[in-house]
């Protein structure tokens, strides 16, 4: 009964603010020609390219991450915390900023290519794989590996027959998550991709905003939704198995003694260095005006001289973005905490409930934004211009991430601790707060910082919901990139650095708050 009660709020909000907009899009496309898009050769070329770039991006991300995961979680590594931070921070960076950073780093002939997209996706997702797999790897019982060695197994056979079976659920779970994120990638493709090779996300956006072919966009959104929901259910089931593995006793890190160990350590440092290059290139590009070093690009964004809506000063844009992100963070944390509690207390239907609450991850941000726009126009109340629509769309994107951060912690708590609190006279709510609440409090602060960072960089839904005269920072960056000229590109890089700085400040502040909890 408690799990049902806790699930009412998040499920109701998901149904109201996510399912209703999606249904609105589908209803708008339910006409005889609504599924004609599935018979077009262009559609299957788009689907094929989307699957190809997602597959290659996933393989590259996992391959790059596994040696570094071993070095970070099983070996004694100098500067471990700093290296781990460098590898994992890119995951929370705004997609538009990362796309622009790679445009500043890569040669001109690589921009708009599949190679650029794969590199940008790997930049994002290496840290995700490291965190998911490393959390399990660090908790494996090292005595089992020692037994394998005493039986005469080679190091390779020990890894294949002892270590890998324990790591497989975590590797598959991270693979499913990376595949899902790259399959629904939007900001990176918009900035780095080629118009001749769009993904499903970009094609939905193009058909709804440029061609106004709503039925075709609805058909593409439905196709994408089916694929990603399957990945979500698979990932949720694998993460439950991973949580069971995390209860194994941990082994202390070892000294890098073999050649393989030393190569993994070297690879980790080189990978961390490589991940800093795009950000460095972006910062340096923002400080260039022609052939000279200058702050001119920053002066242009804070004191624009034009008279169009694209020339809004950066102070107003930053204020708007922070206001939206604050509201989105509050809503995302509330929904994420309640959702995680509901899934934890659910027994038989835990996986189904988790997949339902994580559904926003499987729905295109473009679909969410366009659906909310349709509801605001055709619903019982005209919500056009309602400022709460933007943080609402951002919260629907961030809330599942909050839940994903809290679930492993809640699942690792021994339920007998609550029984002990109850026997000492604590009521159900007080017992939960004394055990679970104390343990997830610190994680909730960190999750709030992540939700705020995600909201600040959200672009897909915001593109449909933000007012023309109140753009967010990512929206303004894309507007500047849509204008020709080196000055506009330089202004976009400067604004991207501003967003990067704000994101770093938010994450640093919440990290300090988490440590002081």
pLDDT 10s digits, 38-57: 777 888 888 899 999 999 99
pLDDT (0 to 100) of residue 265:
87
Which tens digit of pLDDT belongs to each residue from 128-142?
888 888 877 776 655
* Cα 353 to Cα 344: distance, rounded to the nearest angstrom: 10
Token pair in block for residue 290: 């022609």
Q: How far apart are CA 207 and CA 479, in angstroms?
A: 19
How far is residue 149 from each of residues 98, 144, 308, measured CA to CA in Å? 44, 9, 70
Torsion sign, CA atoms 462, 9, 363, 368: negative
Give pLDDT, residue 503.
87
Pair 208, 29: CB distance under 8 Å: no
Q: Which CATH class is domain 1-28+296-517?
A: mainly alpha
CATH topology of domain 33-280: MetI-like fold (1.10.3720)
How much is the pLDDT for 116? 92
Give the residue ranges of the chain where pLDDT is below 50. 1-3, 246-249, 309
pTM over cut 0.85: no
Instruction: Enter the DSSP assignment of 250.
Output: P
Which residue in 367, 156, 388, 403 sits closest to 260, CA to CA? 156
Dist. CA 405–CA 504, nearest whole Å: 19
- Residue 420 has a pLDDT of 63
Question: How many angstroms separate the first and last alpha carbons of the chain?
Answer: 31
Is the sign of the CA dihedral 311, 315, 320, 321 positive or negative? positive
pLDDT at 3: 47
Whether 1-28+296-517 shares its CATH topology with 33-280 is answered yes
Provide the β-strand partners of residue 280: none
pLDDT value for 134: 80
- Report how far residue 296's alpha carbon sits from residue 493's, in angstroms, rounded to the nearest whole number: 12
pLDDT of residue 471: 87
Query: Is 68 in contact with 87 (CB distance < 8 Å)?
Result: yes
Q: What is the pLDDT of residue 123?
A: 92
Listed residue (351, 357, 342, 340) closest to 443, CA to CA: 340
* DSSP letter assigned to residue 15: I
Domain ranges of the chain: 1-28+296-517, 33-280
């Amino acid at each position: 009964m408690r799990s049902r009660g806790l699930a009412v709020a998040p499920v109701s909000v998901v149904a109201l603010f996510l399912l209703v907009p999606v249904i609105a899009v589908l209803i708008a496309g339910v006409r005889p020609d609504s599924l004609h898009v599935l018979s077009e050769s262009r559609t299957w070329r788009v689907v094929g390219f989307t699957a190809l770039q997602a597959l290659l991006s996933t393989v590259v991300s996992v391959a790059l991450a596994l040696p570094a995961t071993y070095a970070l979680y099983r070996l004694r590594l100098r500067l471990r915390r700093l290296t781990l931070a460098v590898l994992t921070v890119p995951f929370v960076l705004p997609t538009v900023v990362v796309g622009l950073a790679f445009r500043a780093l890569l040669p001109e002939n690589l921009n708009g290519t599949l190679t650029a997209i794969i590199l940008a996706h790997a930049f994002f997702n290496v840290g995700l794989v490291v965190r998911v797999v490393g959390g399990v790897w660090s908790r494996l019982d090292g005595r089992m590996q020692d037994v394998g060695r005493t039986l005469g197994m080679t190091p390779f056979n020990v890894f294949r027959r002892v270590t890998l079976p324990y790591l497989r659920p975590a590797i598959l779970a991270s693979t499913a998550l990376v595949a899902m994120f790259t399959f629904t990638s939007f900001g990176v493709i918009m900035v780095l991709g080629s118009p001749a090779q769009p993904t499903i996300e970009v094609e939905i956006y193009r058909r709804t905003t440029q061609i106004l072919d709503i039925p075709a966009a609805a058909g593409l959104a439905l196709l994408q939704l089916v694929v990603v929901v399957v990945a979500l259910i698979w990932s949720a089931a694998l993460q439950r198995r991973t949580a069971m593995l995390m209860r194994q006793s941990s082994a202390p890190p070892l000294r890098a003694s073999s050649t393989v160990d030393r190569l993994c350590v070297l690879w980790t440092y080189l990978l961390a260095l490589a991940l800093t290059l795009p950000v460095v290139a972006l910062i340096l590009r923002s400080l260039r005006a022609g052939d000279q070093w200058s702050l001119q690009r920053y002066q242009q964004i804070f004191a624009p001289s034009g008279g169009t809506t694209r020339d809004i000063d950066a102070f107003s844009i930053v204020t708007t973005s922070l206001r939206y992100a604050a509201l989105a963070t509050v809503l995302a944390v509330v929904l994420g905490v309640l959702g995680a509690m509901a899934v934890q207390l659910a027994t038989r239907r835990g996986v189904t409930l988790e997949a339902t609450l994580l559904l926003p991850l499987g729905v295109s941000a473009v679909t969410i934004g366009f659906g909310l726009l349709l509801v605001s126009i055709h619903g019982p109340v005209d919500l056009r211009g309602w400022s709460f629509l933007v943080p609402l769309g951002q919260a629907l994107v961030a809330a599942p991430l909050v839940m994903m951060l809290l679930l492993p912690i809640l699942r690792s708590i021994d339920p007998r601790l609550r029984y002990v609190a109850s026997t000492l006279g604590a009521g159900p709510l007080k017992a939960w707060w004394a055990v679970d609440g104390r343990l997830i409090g610190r994680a909730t602060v960190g999750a709030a910082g992540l939700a705020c960072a995600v909201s600040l960089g959200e672009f897909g839904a915001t593109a449909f919901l933000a007012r023309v005269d109140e753009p967010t920072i990512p929206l303004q960056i894309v507007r500047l990139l849509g204008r020709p000229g080196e000055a506009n590109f330089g202004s976009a890089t400067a604004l991207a650095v501003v967003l990067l700085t704000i994101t770093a400040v938010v994450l640093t502040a919440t990290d300090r708050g988490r440590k002081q909890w």
